[in-house]
Amino acid sequence: MLLVSATTKRKLWFSFLFLSVVVGSLQAQENSPYSRYGFGDLVPNQPVLNRGMGGIAAGYVDYDKRYDLKDQYPKSQNVNFLNPASYSKIRITSFNLGFEIDSRTLRSPAQAEKFTASSAIISYLQLGIPLSRKRQIGLNLGLRPLSRINYKIQTSEKHLYPDPSILSDSISNLFEGTGGTYEAFAGIGKSFKNLSIGVNVGYFFGTKDYSTRKTFLNDTVLYYKSNYETKTSFGGFLFNLGVQYQASLDKKTKLVIGAFGNLRQTFNGQQDIIRETFSYDASGAPFPIDTVEAQKDVKGKIEYPSNLGIGFTIERLDRWMLGADFTTSNWTDYSFFGVKDLVRNSWTMHVGGQFVPDAFNPKGYWNHVAYRAGFYFGPDYIKADGKDLNQLGITLGAGLPVRKNPYTNQFTYINVGLEYGKRGGNANLLRENMFRITVGFTLSDLWFIKKKYN
């Protein structure tokens, strides 16, 4: 069998090192007050290729039956981890890596001020392997973030005394939160003629660290500063099922209908609850003075909501693809240590497609590029101010094939995407505009091929 070549190893290592450096320098700059609620700001859960088409994924599968059951597959394959039924069509080992940078601007309709912050993350790492081309069984291993929590907000208020002869004092409040959720998963898919089924089994884990620091400002009396902080860690197994059905409309056109989702699931968690007075050292770092209350390893349960997505794609071989998805999440199921949050049931409509000018034109690189566009809309799952937080996004993307290395079975494909989105409106306390750049690398190689000649 063929092992991974030195060239492929260098590509994987260079890509991972580059993205790690960039992410480390930018990730902490995000500051979104909406990440205070639920599990935080949800990371887009589609591969970069699908994001360029508005996020359609339920009926998407990267597969060309013309090369089925052969010892070759003349291009890379993008793996759709959102619907594990697509794993059954993996024909070439593919390493997929996604990366994104986004810039967000927060505005309040009541004030002219605005706040802009940028952040960057690795969207996913995954490795798709064809376990059996003949039996149409594929395996996928991956790691990806699901949500992010990062906010730091300072406010001030007046403290009024019952006795009007006593002058009011000012109180400074610092609200801060960090954390997020992640999933390490393994999935398998199997085809039965036109029907494919698959399952992802993942370990869901994450942290929340919320604190409120109060400073009492008085000209004559020194008051200690107070800190109310709760640190939570949690985890558990998450199961996601998928199904796809493929039908031929004519010799070059196919329809794929798909669905994916998970049931409501329960995770275990533990909390550290801290109530203390504190001060700041010379470098500005807080240090405790006196502990008022401390509880360690408080056990609790987290209820994860059920999710469902259905959709379809229609593809004209080597030419175009159109599709649509409808996804919904039952966030009324959600609770954190028995406490409900300011969340609501949500849904999103995704519509998009791609177009390839001339896939077999030997001249002109841009004839081989897949050009993509799409949009999405629907209410967000957060309902912080009692009003729906509607969101709308427009996406553009491109699939860029890279020249194949001669005398090898290695293929490289680069997906890029642009996204502009809005969350909230004049009826909300805050509205958010977002611009996101996404890049995905697909590095493919034929493994486990028996040699015909020694």
Residue 383 or 334, more confident: 334
Tokens 């970069």 found at: 48
Is residue 146 within 8 A of residue 181, CB to CB? The reply is yes
d(CA 74, CA 72): 6
> pLDDT tens digit string along 136-146?
999 999 999 99
Which residues, including other chains, have CB under 8 Å from residue 237's CB and lie 6 or more apart? 201, 202, 203, 204, 265
At residue 5 the predicted structure's pLDDT band, cuts being 50, 70 and 90, is very low
Domain boundaries, the chain: 6-445
Q: What's the pLDDT at 448?
A: 56
Q: What's the pLDDT at 19?
A: 42
Which residues, including other chains, have CB under 8 Å from residue 27's CB and lie 6 or more apart? 119, 120, 121
Name the class of domain 6-445.
mainly beta
d(CA 314, CA 309): 17
Mean pLDDT of all residues belonging to the chain: 86
pTM: 0.87
Is residue 124 within 8 A of residue 108, CB to CB? The reply is no
> pLDDT tens digit string along 107-164?
877 777 788 888 889 999 999 999 998 899 999 999 999 999 998 888 877 666 665 6
